Structure 1
């Protein structure tokens, strides 16, 4: 019981709360204006499933059924025989103060053309500089959840939905983050994305901004300096689960023996105020 109470006390000091940092389900009659679309082929761009697959023909109805993941609409991209690269980019969001952030989304691709024949590729990427550079988080080629129905007919694929979740912990502290879904293909198949979320727990604004204390260098090889005009009562390093790993009352904290990763440093001052900051050990 004492251990449970201690853990609760630590977490309450951090003022950690659940946060949805990005959420889009692509419902409605128009595509969300906060998302940016680019394409090499103007007639093949990301849009709602009811827009890309409109009509009353059996083919249009089948496409809407196959590529509408939840609700009445999903973000879809239709195939074309020529080469196409099409991007769907989220609005910017911040991971400053975030704890254990993750990206979640649902996705559908055609197994035969996209995976078996590899005529196209769909990837999820992240940028921390407003979209200048991108890092791939996920790609459909290595996703094991897509199903082959084994009937050897590429026109009767199951088009099953796969739920994807990827950790964004390496990007904690970044203030200008975007997610991008990029399609590259030629005579491949349509794809669909839905229910995009970035979820995290975050330190409260009061906790992060309570003092003007500077903690540096960050990232660090081991030594952390605390520059402040206040008297330090204690400095405690926690892992992201809230477990205390090291405590001192010095203006220098040494985590050189720690493994590489992300930690929380809480500085408690003699006047009762505190400052908590994420630190990265290189």
Structure 2
């Protein structure tokens, strides 16, 4: 086996040097992520951090809120409410929440959704 490996190496080396081509390299870069250059933000949470109340504001004129859910970082649903009107801002009372970080999920009437972090002080 060693004899065949050595012969194969010698043949490959001979082919590379016989071509008189200089070794080259090419740098290729790829961008990974989910639409890394497209800004699709539709929601602002303010104030954030919040003590008593926080407002969910829609900054996309065409978006309409269908549902807002709030989750702990462990995945437990703390709050959920459906909306049928054309609200573009919703005031949420978070006074009873424990201090920490939460995730607010806003589902829009077109079926899309956005998740934002909320810090409760």
Structure 1 residues 135-168: Cα deviation after superposition (integer angstroms, max 9, x where no partner): xxxxxxxxxxxxxxxxxxxxxxxxxxxxxxxxxx
Q: Are 2:101 and 1:255 equivalent residues in the alignment?
A: no
Alignment correspondent of 2:10: none
1:222 positional shift: 2.4
Distance 2:75 2:40 in 1: 20
Counterpart position of 1:227: 57
* CA-CA distance at 1:261 after TM superposition: 0.6
Looking at structure 1, the residues matched to 104 and 42 of structure 2 have their Cα atoms a distance apart, in angstroms, of 15
The equivalences for 1:179-218 within 5 A come to 210-218=40-48
Q: Over aligned residue pairs, what C-alpha RMSD do you find?
A: 2.0
Deviations 1:153-202 (A, max 9, x none): xxxxxxxxxxxxxxxxxxxxxxxxxxxxxxxxxxxxxxxxxxxxxxxxxx
Equivalences, count: 77
Unaligned runs of 5+ in 2: 1-32, 84-89
Deviation at 1:213, TM superposition (A): 1.7
Contact persistence 1:233–1:270 (CA under 8 A): yes
Q: 1:272 to 1:244 in 2, by over 3 A?
A: same
One of 74, 78, 100 as aligned partner of 1:241: 74
Calculate the TM-score normalised by the size of structure 2: 0.57
Compare CA radii of gyration and give the structure with the larger one.
Answer: 2
Stretches of structure 1 lacking an aligned partner (at least 5 in a row): 1-203
Q: Does the 8 A contact of 1:210 with 1:273 survive in 2?
A: no
How many angstroms apart in 1 are the aligned matches of 2:48 and 2:76? Answer: 21
The TM-score normalised by the length of structure 1 is: 0.26
- Distance in 1 (CA, whole Å) between partners of 2:74 and 2:55 is 23
Q: CA deviation at 1:211?
A: 2.8
C-alpha distance 261-205 of structure 1, shift in aligned 2 (>3 A): farther
